[in-house]
Amino acid sequence: MNPDSKFLLDELKKCFDEQDARLEKRLTEDDEKWERRFQENGDKWERHFADAEVATNSRLSKLEWVVDTLEGERQDMEGSVDNIRLAVKKLNKHYEHISFELPPEAPLLPTTPLLAAGHPSTGLPADRPHGHRSDNHIREGEFGSVTTLIHSPGKGRGRGVVQET
């Protein structure tokens, strides 16, 4: 083999080896970078889930405490309601006995309604009250009287006119 060719092949092999080493180094760095990123995200999510679990457990324990407290109060309230029911039953029983023993009282209001007084007859042609006011005078002789006008025929030929013949 020619020494120049051998030198050229050795140089090419050396370049390929350097290229392979750089490529391998770059791939290793990328793998490490991705592994580190996945590990950080995994740790982040684990912390997030742990915090959520702690918060949920805290809320759940508070909720259980409230439920226990309300359950105790409910039992107390049911006891109070039962006591009130018993007291009302006793009052009803005593009221029934009293209502049978005592005679009924007279009603405060009359049982039959009283008749309204009739309008007195005036005997005069008087006007009734009108609206919110009351006119206490009769119309005749004042501005409200009725006047009938009779038209006289033309040329002096009306009734009551004496014609000269």
Predicted confidence at residue 165, as pLDDT, reads 45
CA distance 82 to 90: 12
Predicted confidence at residue 67, as pLDDT, reads 93
For residue range 145-154, list pLDDT tens digits in order.
Answer: 565 666 666 6
- Angle at alpha carbon of residue 45, lines to 43 and 49, rounded to 5°: 115
pTM summary value: 0.34
For residue range 84-102, list pLDDT tens digits in order.
Answer: 999 999 888 887 777 667 6
Question: Which residue positions in the chain have pLDDT lower than 70?
Answer: 99-100, 102-104, 110, 113-114, 116-165
Sign of dihedral through CA atoms 119, 123, 129, 134? negative
Residue spans of the domains in the chain: they are 1-72
